[in-house]
Structure 1
Amino acid sequence: MRHFLLLSILCIQQALAKQQPNIILLLSDDQHWDATSVPMHPDFPSSSKKHQTPNLEKLALQGMRFSAAYSPAPVCAPTRVSILTGKSPAALHWCKASPVVKSSENTKYLASPSAKNIKDPTFASQLQKAGYKTAHFGKWHIGGGGPEAHGFDVSDGDIGNEQSSKFKDPNPVDIVGMTNRAKSFINSTVESPFYLQMSYLALHSPENASQKNKDKFAKLLPNDKERSVQRIALTADLDSGVGTLIDFLKEKQLLENTYIIYMADNGANSRTSNLRGGKGSLYEGGIRIPFIIVGPNIPANSWSHTPISGIDFFPTFCKLAGAGSLPDKLEGSDITPLFNKQLIKRSAPLLFHFPHYQKSPPQSALIAGNYKILYDYESQHTSLYNIHLDPAESNDLSTKNPEFAHQLKQQLFSQLTNINAAIPQPNPNFDPSKPTPNFDPRKPRHSK
């Protein structure tokens, strides 16, 4: 009788595991919204004729593309910790990846150093409690003892960008190695649902792209700079890695019960994007990213134009997994209603806060529906854009609709106050008679 009960319990556990979907997050590094061959918007130029990403094209045709998907930050580490915790970098007080500028560098404003510690629970821990096996391969870059201290059963440890230079052809920036480790992990989860995060090192160290693709694109793009050709070649290598992993899932008959998300951690430092700005800026080029999701009940070749962010993964993954109650003060929202063309519930508009100098002077932004307000702390200028009609942010509407711009600006600072965000402060050592650093090579900065 006891043997029968144990067998029954095992069968029930296996049945429940099969009902819980597998979830895979494919996270590229420093990739512009329009740096693949997949259009990310049906009406706006949002793909590249120079890039060849056939596996991403297939993925997009099988699922839903989000034309207005955002990284939580315009740089990598804040995005990664924000994705895991469901809170904005502003709330976490972790908005910068590299060191902040010092008062001696003669910038008009100064920002507090980022906290750079993980105090909040992660969705990986939540999924573990729901019976999931969890793995994180590739770039971690947020310390805290590494992935296995924050809900992951298996990982590559606390590694960062430095790893990318170590892996060359035939394993460009460890794309092949990561894929092989992912296969082994999936094979070990026969009786459990799994969460797998592939935090690719690509597109760092593009010089380590496969020789085959470097030669191929050098011939196809003879007038392009070598670095640009290398990035395009490495993008093709990344696409091949994605295709290999998907083929493996198909072989294992796991695709029907697996959600696959492809996205970037932020925009890139590119002069060829159709979007304004880039990495280190809250203009669309810094935070609007490629985003594709496929999985159970997601209509093929479909679109969503509702703005979403990486902070939405925590509640979304927990909803998909049936992972129970959520921690307090999450800023993300469950986006699963969008899969069925329904509305999602947000307690507040999407907030972006980058109180640092990098690609641009310190900025904060808020996306509410079709509109985006962007505040520049140095100039104290407030810009207003209809990013649904004008993703390139070419038409500032703040002077045409000053009341609406003022309303959104008030809402922006109200949200920053509510989460106790660190606001950049005037630099007491700033000397307007001296030159200021040139943070944007396309916009020379002169002495005031």
Structure 2
Amino acid sequence: MWLSQAGYRSEYIGKFLNGYSRELYQDSPKGWDHVDALIDPWMYNFNTPVFSANGETPVLYRGYHQTDVIRAKAISRLQYLTESQDKPFYLTIAPVSPHVQIAGLLPVPLARHVNTHKNLTAPQGKAFNPEQDLTDGKPSWLKNLDRLNDTQIDRIDLHYRRRIQALLGVDEIVHDVVEFLETKDLLDNTYIVFSSDNGFHLGQHRVTAGKTLPYIADTNVPFIVRGPNVPHGKTSKLPGAHLDLAPTFLDIACVDKSDLPVFLDGRSLLEDWHHPHNSTGLNHTGLINIEFWGQSVVEAPTQKGNPNNSYKALRAVGEKSSWLFTKWCTGETELYNTLDDPSEVINLAYKANNPNKYTQRLIHRLNALLLVTKSCERDNCRNPWTVLQSSHEDDYPESGEIFSSLETAMQKKYDSFFAGLPNVNFKECLKVQVADNEEPFLPPSSRSLGNASRKHIDYYTTPSKPAQKGVSPNKVNQGTKSQRNTTLAEMLKTARNLTSLELGTTSSLSVDDDESRSDKLLSLGS
């Protein structure tokens, strides 16, 4: 909506959100000029690609792999955006690969990639299947995990290979998008941002597979940018988070800061992209909040999740010091020196590790920062030090002292102030965020949890009307070599609308057979 106001055309292809389903597709996502989204319950079935364009009847692309359909749709939309309309454009391309299928089944690569990387095994660093003395220092359910056995490790290796194979199809999407823009002479005037919604662990900390932990494997995502004034081949250590993307994209669109939505908590990263070795970003902006509520998700059949997996975490990222600090709903604390211990296996807050005075003082500072960031909004998120500085001035009005970084805050003269602040705390482990369960708040006004800028969704009920007929997947895995460059127009020849029985909208028996095409196939256009 904000890009539209800035004169852009905005479009979306692929996975939109879990829960965007055959029961809800007609309520098309708002604000987009064009949305062609995957539909539940087929979203994670790679050989049953079902999409709904702009809330129209969902279409099954029989005989094709989902990743190939997304590739073809992306190129089709780029043709429209570059040849049939004049606005600058924003396009999200969201493949599901390399996600697992429903019930933890392994990802399904395109058929042309299933025989690649046959001997590849998962990386086994220090965090992989650690010894008992390291596991003892873990919190909650993690400290009770048994070491992984050979069968589980074999499954991890297979899962890793399947992920790499599945990503080859994503590589092809990237290749074709870049090649298309280059042929249109638009590549040098286009920002391409490649990222992911989460990381993924495979065997780290004795957990077979998943993404719901605060550690680096889960929370660090790939992030690659190509575009105007972005230097080639450079690697940046400047920290950022997903909440920084919206202000960055609006900055690219030349939206004035005074016109930005007031409730944005992030900051534009554009200047950092242009100057990736600028060290100023490692000051107050080197603080990243990570939170999770609810049961851990284990995406493998040999382990179960655990309900006690709610936590508040803070990454303090800097060139001279770098930390991961976590408070769990069980009351346990974790602290890792991520410069000296990048695998995050030695919990400095664990009693058996005998935390020294410096560690205890550091915990007080990180607790204070987490106290702010766990419920911050707007400028308080962009620079939580201002909240702490203000609180310090209230307690010590005559001091005139200023701290604006972890380095300056570690001075001993601030010990009493930071030690006197309340601890981040949960009353109990819940699956959702409840203000009463997460007191105290700093500043006290942050207890509203941003509700002034969002609507309550307590009225929402998930539809549960069953379909009267299933949709069978492709009989064999698709994505053959011959389908590598198949166009959307060619795919439409075997595509068909889903029937009312398949959508659960009627009990009528007068419907098309699952293998036939509807005569009223949705026209997607180019």
TM bucket, shorter chain = 0.5 to 0.7
Matches within 5 A, 1:396-411: 396-398=347-349, 399-400=355-356, 401-411=359-369
Q: Deviations over 1:265-324 (max 9, x none)?
A: 112241279999950111111111111111110101101101111110011010111123
Which shows bigger deviation, 285-294 or 392-401?
Answer: 392-401
For 1:406 and 1:383, locate their aligned partners in 2 and report how far apart those are by CA, in whole Å.
Answer: 13
Matches within 5 A, 1:148-163: 149-157=29-37, 159-160=39-40, 162-163=42-43
- Asked if structure 2 preserves the Cα contact closer than 8 Å seen for 1:276 and 1:283, the reply is no
Q: Deviations over 1:225-256 (max 9, x none)?
A: 54443322112222122212211111111110
Q: CA deviation at 1:150?
A: 3.2
**What amino acid is aligned across from residue 127 of structure 1 in structure 2?**
L
For 2:332 and 2:173, locate their aligned partners in 1 and report how far apart those are by CA, in whole Å.
Answer: 44
- Asked if structure 2 preserves the Cα contact closer than 8 Å seen for 1:138 and 1:198, the reply is yes
- Asked if structure 2 preserves the Cα contact closer than 8 Å seen for 1:134 and 1:152, the reply is yes
Which shows bigger deviation, 393-402 or 249-258?
Answer: 393-402
Q: Which residue of 1 aligns with 2:90?
A: 195
For 2:338 and 2:35, locate their aligned partners in 1 and report how far apart those are by CA, in whole Å.
Answer: 38
Q: Which residue of 2 aligns with 1:12?
A: none
Q: CA deviation at 1:426?
A: 2.3
Q: Is the radius of gyration larger for structure 1 or structure 2?
A: 2
- Asked if structure 2 preserves the Cα contact closer than 8 Å seen for 1:387 and 1:393, the reply is yes
Percentage of pairs with the same residue? 24
Q: CA deviation at 1:378?
A: 4.3
- Asked if structure 2 preserves the Cα contact closer than 8 Å seen for 1:168 and 1:210, the reply is no
2:343 to 378, 389, 392: 392
Matches within 5 A, 1:311-322: 311-322=243-254
By relative contact order (CA 8 Å, sep 6+), the higher-ranking structure is: 1
Q: Report the secondary structure of 2:224's partner residue.
A: strand
Q: Which residue of 2 aligns with 1:412?
A: 370
- Asked if structure 2 preserves the Cα contact closer than 8 Å seen for 1:365 and 1:374, the reply is yes
Q: Which residue of 1 aligns with 2:409?
A: none
Q: Which residue of 1 aligns with 2:316?
A: 368
For 1:299 and 1:273, locate their aligned partners in 2 and report how far apart those are by CA, in whole Å.
Answer: 36
Q: Report the CA distance shift for 1:383/1:196 in structure 2 as closer, same or farther (over 3 A).
A: same
1:255 to 187, 190, 193: 187
Q: Deviations over 1:39-58 (max 9, x none)?
A: xxxxxxxxxxxxxxxxxxxx
Q: Report the CA distance shift for 1:305/1:226 in structure 2 as closer, same or farther (over 3 A).
A: closer
Q: CA deviation at 1:423?
A: 7.3
**What amino acid is aligned across from residue 369 of structure 1 in structure 2?**
V
Matches within 5 A, 1:278-289: 278-289=210-221
For 1:409 and 1:374, locate their aligned partners in 2 and report how far apart those are by CA, in whole Å.
Answer: 8
* Paired residues, number: 304
Q: Structure 1, unaligned stretches of length 5 or more?
A: 1-124, 429-448
1:357 to 286, 289, 295: 295
Matches within 5 A, 1:25-40: none
For 2:376 and 2:111, locate their aligned partners in 1 and report how far apart those are by CA, in whole Å.
Answer: 51
- Asked if structure 2 preserves the Cα contact closer than 8 Å seen for 1:141 and 1:160, the reply is no
TM-score norm. by structure 1 comes to 0.59
Q: CA deviation at 1:387?
A: 2.7
Q: CA deviation at 1:403?
A: 0.5
Q: CA deviation at 1:397?
A: 3.9
**What amino acid is aligned across from residue 350 of structure 1 in structure 2?**
I
Matched, 1:306 2:238: yes
Matches within 5 A, 1:139-154: 139-141=15-17, 149-154=29-34
Matches within 5 A, 1:52-201: 125-141=1-17, 149-157=29-37, 159-160=39-40, 162-167=42-47, 173-190=65-82, 191-201=86-96
For 2:271 and 2:254, locate their aligned partners in 1 and report how far apart those are by CA, in whole Å.
Answer: 15
- Asked if structure 2 preserves the Cα contact closer than 8 Å seen for 1:356 and 1:424, the reply is no
**What amino acid is aligned across from residue 188 of structure 2 in structure 1?**
E
Matched, 1:331 2:265: yes
Q: Report the secondary structure of 2:188's partner residue.
A: helix
For 1:241 and 1:305, locate their aligned partners in 2 and report how far apart those are by CA, in whole Å.
Answer: 27
- Asked if structure 2 preserves the Cα contact closer than 8 Å seen for 1:382 and 1:409, the reply is no
Q: Report the CA distance shift for 1:298/1:166 in structure 2 as closer, same or farther (over 3 A).
A: closer
Q: Which residue of 2 aligns with 1:116?
A: none
- Asked if structure 1 preserves the Cα contact closer than 8 Å seen for 2:325 and 2:366, the reply is no
- Asked if structure 1 preserves the Cα contact closer than 8 Å seen for 2:329 and 2:425, the reply is no
Q: Report the CA distance shift for 1:240/1:412 in structure 2 as closer, same or farther (over 3 A).
A: same
Quick check: which one's strand share is greater? 1
Q: Structure 2, unaligned stretches of length 5 or more?
A: 50-61, 122-153, 298-307, 350-354, 381-423, 431-526
TM-score norm. by structure 2 comes to 0.51
- Asked if structure 2 preserves the Cα contact closer than 8 Å seen for 1:277 and 1:286, the reply is no
Q: Which residue of 2 aligns with 1:382?
A: 333
Q: Which residue of 1 aligns with 2:480?
A: none
For 2:168 and 2:428, locate their aligned partners in 1 and report how far apart those are by CA, in whole Å.
Answer: 45
Matched, 1:241 2:173: yes
Q: Report the CA distance shift for 1:271/1:427 in structure 2 as closer, same or farther (over 3 A).
A: closer
Q: Which residue of 2 aligns with 1:215?
A: 115
For 2:181 and 2:158, locate their aligned partners in 1 and report how far apart those are by CA, in whole Å.
Answer: 35
Q: Which residue of 2 aligns with 1:44?
A: none
- Asked if structure 1 preserves the Cα contact closer than 8 Å seen for 2:65 and 2:110, the reply is no
Q: Deviations over 1:378-434 (max 9, x none)?
A: 4423222333453311343442421111111122123324459x9754269xxxxxx
For 1:262 and 1:394, locate their aligned partners in 2 and report how far apart those are by CA, in whole Å.
Answer: 29
